[in-house]
Structure 1
Amino acid sequence: MTISKLGYIELNSCGALVRASELCDKARGLSPGELRLGGELCVSGYEYLGEDFETSLIKNLQAALKPGALLGFTHFNGAFNEFILLSHEKIIYKQSKFKLFTPNNEQDKFSAGIVEDIKLFEVGGVKIGVLICFELRFLELWERLKGADIVLIPALWGAKRGEDFKVLSQALALQNRCYVVACSDRDLKFGCVYAPNGEANFECEFDPNLASKFKTSLGIVD
C-alpha cells in the first residue's frame, strides 16, 4: 500500500446518523493512495450510541473506501476513545487516548489508554504516529514519535484555544521534521496539513524525501 496524498475531512451536518452518512460519502470519494484524517469523535461527539452503531459505522466506511485509500478518526470503543485507521479490508491500526481532558470530564466518559501505545507504526514503509487532541500539549509524547514520516492529530479542540492547536501542530512538524495532519471537527473547526518545513496546506502530495531535503537546507546532519 502506497501513501501519495494527505488531507483531512470536515463534516458539516448535525446529528450522529447524518454525520455518519456524510463521512461515508466522503470516504467514497477518496482515491487510492490518499490518506484523510477526520476529527476526534467526529461522528457522535461525546454521545455513546452503542456497540451496534459503532460496528455498523466501521463496516459501512470500509465498504465505501476504495482499495488503497485510508481514513482515520476516533470513536467510542467500549470504555475507550479509540483512534482507528481504516482501509477497505481492515482496521490497520488502533490506539486509545492516553491523556484525557479533565475540564470536559473525559475521565467520567472514558478509561485512559496506556502511554506505551503511543508509538510508530508502518504503512507501506511509511512511519506514522498518532496524538489524540490534548496529547498534543505534551512534549514527552512528541519524543515518542521521533522518526515519524507522518503524525496524525484528530482533535475535538476548544475554539477559544484554537491558536494553540494551530501553533502546536505546526511546531510539531518543524521539531520532528515530519508531515502533521491536524483535524478538529467540533467546536474549533480547523484542519491543515503541515509539511516538514512548516508549510501549511489544505491537502498535499506526500514526499517521503522532503524531511531530508529540509534538514539538508538547514545544514542538519543526523
Structure 2
Amino acid sequence: MKVALGQFAVAADWHTNQAACLKLIARAKSGGADLLVLPEGILARDINDPEIMPKTAQPLDGPFMAGLCAASEGITVMGCVNVPDGDGRFYNTLVVLRDGNIIARYRKIHLYDAFGARESDRTAPGHSLPPVIEIGGLKVGVMTCYDVRFPEVARALAAAGAEVIAIPAAWIRGPGKEHHWRVLNTARALDNTCYVVAVGECGVRNCGASMVVDPLGVVTLDLGEAPALGFCDLDPARIAHARKVLPVIENRRFANPILRSA
C-alpha cells in the first residue's frame, strides 16, 4: 500500500484549508497513493482565538466535507474535523473518505487535558473505540493525536486485526514534546508490530514532524516541521517478518482491552 502524508499549517478560514486539502488530494492521487492522511483540526485553527473551533464547526454534510468527499474518487482520505455536538461544544471527529463517501468516522475519546491545556472545555468526548478499515489490501486502524499516549487503544486495534495505525494529530510544541511524539509513535509500532503513519499539523503552535514508523520501530519517513507531502510504501512482507521474529501479539498474556462506555 502506498500512503501519502499531507502536512500543512491550518489557517483560520475553512475555505483556505479546504483548498489546501484539495491540492494535497490531487497531488496524492498523481503520486499513486492509496491513502492520504491529513492532520487533526483541518477545518480551522487560530492560536489567538480559542473559540475558533466551536465557532467554525460544521456538520459532516456541510460544505467543507462536501468538497473533500467530491475529491476522494479513487483514493482514501482521512483527517479530523470539528462537528457540532448540539450542546455548544463539538466532537473532534476523524473521518475516512473514499469515492465520494464517508466510509468511517471516529470521535476522539482521549481529550488533551494535559500540559496546561483543556481540550475538554470545548470538546465533547467520544465513547467508542476507533474502527479498522481495509485500504489497499491492508487493515488500517485509526487514532487521534493524544490517543497515542494510551497503548490500550493501539493494542485494541491490533487485536482487531490492524496492520497499520494512522494518527492524524496537531502535536503542540514544547520542552520534550517533539521527543515524546517520536518515542510514542515508535513505541506503538513496536508494541503491535504494525506500521504507524502519524501526520501532524505544522505552523506556529504545532510541530509537524509527520512520520512513518515500520513494524520494527524504524522511522522510514520524517517530514520535519515545514509544510510537505511525503510518500511511503507499506510492505505486508515487513509486517509478516516483524510478527514472526517479534511475536508480541501472540505472546501476550492479557485479554483484549475493552473500552468502557462513559
- In 2, distance between residues paired with 1:118 and 1:137? 15
Residue of structure 2 equivalent to 1:169: 185
Bigger helix fraction = 1
Q: How does 1:13-92 map to 2 (within 5 A)?
A: 14-16=11-13, 17-31=15-29, 33-45=33-45, 47=53, 48-51=55-58, 55-67=62-74, 69-78=75-84, 79-92=90-103
Query: Match of 2:214?
Result: 195
Contact 2:71 2:100 in 1 (8 A): no
Distance change >3 Å, CA 178–CA 220, structure 1 → 2? closer
1:149 counterpart letter in structure 2: E
Q: What letter is aligned with 2:12?
A: G
Structure 1 position 53, deviation (Å): 9.3
TM-score normalized by the length of structure 1: 0.87
Distance, in Å, in 2 between the alignment partners of 1:6 and 1:124 is 9
Match of 1:99 among 81, 87, 110: 110
Structure 1 segments unaligned to the other structure (5+ residues): none
Q: Is the contact between residue 170 and residue 198 of structure 1 (CA under 8 Å) also seen in structure 2?
A: yes
User: Could you give the per-residue CA deviations for residues 90-131 of structure 1, whole angstroms, max 9, x where no partner exists?
Assistant: 0111000001112322112111101x3234343465322112
Find out whether 1:181 has 2:200 as its counterpart: no
Hey, what does 1:109 align to over in structure 2? 122
Distance 1:219 1:177, change over 3 A: closer
Distance 1:140 1:22, change over 3 A: same
Q: Percent identity?
A: 23
Q: Distance in 2 between matches of 1:13 and 1:112?
A: 22
Determine helix, strand or coil for the equivalent of 1:40. Answer: coil
State the Cα RMSD in Å: 2.4
Measure how far apart 1:50 and its partner are. Answer: 4.1
Label 1:154 to 1:221 Cα distance change in 2 as closer, same or farther (>3 A): closer
5+ residue gaps in structure 2?
46-51, 85-89, 222-230, 251-262
Whether 1:118 aligns to 2:130 is: yes
Name which of 206, 214, 217 aligns with 2:234: 206
Aligned residue type for 2:215: P
Query: Which has the higher mean CA deviation after the structures are superposed, 123-132 or 173-182?
Result: 123-132
Q: Is contact 1:119–1:144 with CA below 8 Å preserved after alignment?
A: no
Residue 155 of structure 2: which of 137, 143, 148 is its match?
143
- In structure 2, the CA distance between the partners of 1:27 and 1:5, relative to structure 1 (3 Å rule), is same
Tell me the TM-score normalized by structure 2: 0.74
CA contact (8 A) 2:35 2:135 kept: no
More off after superposition, 136-145 vs 118-127 = 118-127
- State how far apart, in whole Å, the 2-side matches of 1:42 and 1:221 are: 34
Aligned partners of 2:171 and 2:153: how far apart in 1? 18
